[in-house]
Structure 1
Amino acid sequence: MTAHPFMFGPASRQIFGIFHAAEDARPGDTAVLVCPPFGQEGLRTHRLFKVLAERLARAGVATLRFDFHGSGDSPGEETDGELDGWRRDLCCAHEELRRRAPTSRIVWVGARLGATIAVLAARNGRCDPARLVLWEPVIDGRRYARSLREEHVAAIDTTFCIPDLAWRRSLAREPDAMPEEVLGTLLSPKLRSQLGALVAESLPLTALHDTLVLTPPGDEHTAQWAAEQQSRHMPVRLAYFQHRLDWTSDPYPNSAMVPAGALNRLQGALYE
């Protein structure tokens, strides 16, 4: 089994990727493009997607993992990060995977903000995934930013002997304000503006591919968004999925670095 790290994309915007070549690949097989989450969520799921890619490669599924510009091992600054550029990065990664697996049916597996970027990229017509697998997509930017701020404050409270109360006061005073930093990651002014404008209505799906949405039981916002897409006769299905992964922190009780249930669910989502 071979994992090949490399740089790709235009010279002005290089992207770091790792290609996991399929064992015993055959024409018409599936290939997977992993669309990672943002910030701490991306760090938290790095090992999970590495193990998933290795498992898929052994099963004959070529997989490309990559880091968006300004994140992970890709060039660029955190302050360069924004949704439009990341959408173009995803399409560039799609074309790279198409070049390496030219006869394969390509499925995008996106998590959290990576799933949101997948929706934005798939509807612009430049990319042609056969299926989207959206794992807890972010469909409300302000709600997402607030949850990250709350996690940030909680981390400060538990990490330091004398917590910095300014963060908690700021959260109480302006609960819906867009943060400049969350859990060690900077948000560019443009990204803060884009998240502030991100609502379910700005994420319509298309009929060019089928979509599977995975979300925990009780997530009414995502369920409502999926139902609205179904009412537009889009080929989308919602499936409830509970897992033992805390998106933003390792030491929480009952959290797992690579929950077997998540691996099995994501691998099965390629074909159902």
Structure 2
Amino acid sequence: MDIILLLKTVLLGIVEGITEWLPISSTGHLILADEFIKLNMTADFKEMFDVVIQLGAIMAVVVLYFHKLNPFSPKKNHDEKMDTIILWTKVILAVFPAAIIGILFDDWLNDHFYNPPVVAAMLIIYGVLFIIIENRNKRSRRRPMNDLSRLSYGMALGIGVFQILALIPGTSRSGATILGGILLGCSRTVAAEFSFFLGIPVMFGASLLKIVKFGLAFTSTQLIVLIVGMVVSFLVSIGAIKFLLGYIKKNDFKAFGVYRIILGLLVIVYFAFIK
């Protein structure tokens, strides 16, 4: 296998692992990375690769939260098992809005929104929203909800509706759902954790959809590229998730908002004046 292709795959896995969980848009970053890190694969494979390596990222959540997410754990009593089942019903409920829209309009979204101008616009718009919402929260006297078990079905569905926004690249799935959770009264930690859990069925479903559309006739090189991308994404995601949870205990999301705005402006400059 070409060593350069392998190195490019590793770099893309690192980009996915970092950006999937930070509210800065993994899909947007992968689209931009493709401008500089060409895999030299078919367009269909590249489109599928960008989605399927998210399986590596989501496995990081499964590993880190396995006990919390496992309703059959022998270490849990009956009430704890029921609480876990209830959590999963809220996650499944929150999946439906984006799943329905995504399945119905997958090809249309790919044709119209997967391009640098849209990515740049979404990076800037949601960067500004993060700053506005965090400034508003500082002035608010309302105490955020700090217990994930108190998340209502209505709040879960509301966060799921916000996830629809993430179907446009550059928005960020974690960014949209975390913003939604905060606006609905969740603390940053509760919003982030529910966003992590919500990503499990979403990414498994999206990856399955892309694999079925691509077909299972992978070449040996394509299979190696997929596996390497997922493994690297998994390992980097472990660190990214731990970093984010530690960071938001003492900080707000405004730094991510500033980053998004700067990156969006750089994207505009690059594609308008340099490329």
Mark yes or no: TM-score above 0.5: no
More helix by share: 2
TM-score (norm 1): 0.28
Relative contact order, higher structure (CA 8 A, sep 6+)? 2
